[in-house]
Structure 1
């Protein structure tokens, strides 16, 4: 991949370190218009915190450590590969229980509905990932407090410690004060910067 980027007029990355290292143009993710269109719909609170994501060893361990908070953390795993990995990745999978995984996929509409009906959102990036995930921008539109494992979020203009709690995945601590305080509204001008229209505009501008 890196051997071919010189043939392009411009290369973008959502990770600042890649931009600094290779001279790429920085372009963070964007929020979904579909989510923006349904944000005004009232849905009764169903979850304290909701998260749906693909299985990762570190993510599974984080879920176990957060169980005491009664959060709903759904980790998807393909059922066929689960049994294959149980055999060939025994050391990693020997303590991975089926009851702690979900094997049925959830469509985007259902994920959005569950996010709308939760009080807080969880964002868990891959261990070596620096760029922000889609979940961060979902939280902005939904005006939901976010709990994240990505400390790089501090460098963004919408970061507010009242709304965003950065946790250590090895020892996650959720402060009671964070959960109980009200969400601090972010200026619309800042949020609009992350609309897909602006993302496309930056992508195509000369």
Structure 2
């Protein structure tokens, strides 16, 4: 831990995402910060989450009222930092109010989604003093800091963990993920042990995708799961897998959280993300890049052993290394 936050007050806003919001909050507290947490996208039902994703304008008024109510008890706080992850439901009205409430605070934004998927976020950039994105192309285009995502300690495992699956995939079945995962599975040797957990938020999402998503035309209801795995369950599958399949959203070039978790677990990676070859941990022995339309894994890739990466590089992708870099820039 390079950067202490001892005695600092932080207003922290993040979406609920497999408890990562809690792990970030805990790391802030571990460094000595007094943290007040507000939920980004404060709507818990699958329907409202879907509406927020598809048409943010329909929920932004309700979000403004939510934040105004929540901040009634926090207006008098003298925050050192307002730290926002994504800020999907933060409007210009809310951000302007916060600047009035907390004129001394340094506003930090970290985007873990691409601007191609969150175009409204570009308009929010002017409200932040320090801006980061996980997407190198977005960083270059908008002149902001580039910082990849991270993995947390639960994904670190010993090489002696028993292997149950040759390759596994866990993720939301958006866009073309179902089609790609199915092609990868079908292209493997019939003796290969494959674990697929294709998650949909509700059964109605499946029926909607059957009509609107061409890759779902041959999909069966039983191909999908409608309850998310806990982070502990995800970690358990990682530990029992020799290789992890990663399929990024087609509108992003930044590395997914899954990619960094695979690094943390010291597992081999099969990914459709071509940009991974430009990262300092890339090793063709460990990472196989496949074409989205015709994903083919070389026969020997799944059977050759993993080759460990440099220790300093490995540490830089831990949650601790991620936060060190953010507050190194923020404290300049």
- Pairing partner for 1:45 from 160, 163, 175: 163
Distance 1:184 1:93 in 2: 37
Structure 2 residue aligned with 1:75, among 180, 195, 198?
198
Aligned pairs (5 A) from 1:158-173: 158-173=281-296
Is the contact made by 1:16 and 1:26 (CA closer than 8 Å) also made in structure 2?
A: yes
Instruction: Answer yes or no: is 1:11 the counterpart of 2:11.
Output: no
Partner residue, 2:180: 62
Is structure 2 residue 23 aligned with structure 1 residue 23?
no
Match of 1:134 among 257, 274, 282: 257
Which whole-Å CA distance do the structure 2 matches of 1:134 and 1:185 have between them? 19
Shift in CA distance, 124/86, structure 1 to aligned 2, threshold 3 Å: closer
Give the TM-score of the pair, scaled to structure 1.
0.90
Task: Give the secondary structure class of the aligned counterpart of 1:178.
Answer: coil
Alignment RMSD: 2.0
Residue aligned with 1:170, SS: coil
2:32 equivalent in structure 1: none
The residue that corresponds to 1:119 in the other structure is 242
Q: Distance in 1 between matches of 2:270 and 2:176?
A: 16
SS of alignment partner, residue 3 of structure 1: helix
Based on CA coordinates, which of the two structures has the bigger radius of gyration?
2
Give yes or no for contact 1:15–1:130 (8 Å, CA) kept in 2: yes
SS of equivalent residue, structure 2 residue 196? strand
| 8 A contact 2:134–2:254 mirrored in 1 | yes
CA contact (8 A) 1:15 1:28 kept: yes
How far apart are 1:35 and its partner, in Å? 2.2
Cα distance change on mapping 1:21 and 1:48 into 2, 3 Å: same
Which structure 2 residue ranges, 5 or more long, are not aligned?
1-120
The answer to whether the Cα contact below 8 Å between 2:169 and 2:245 also exists between their aligned partners in 1 is yes
TM-score normalized with structure 2 length: 0.57
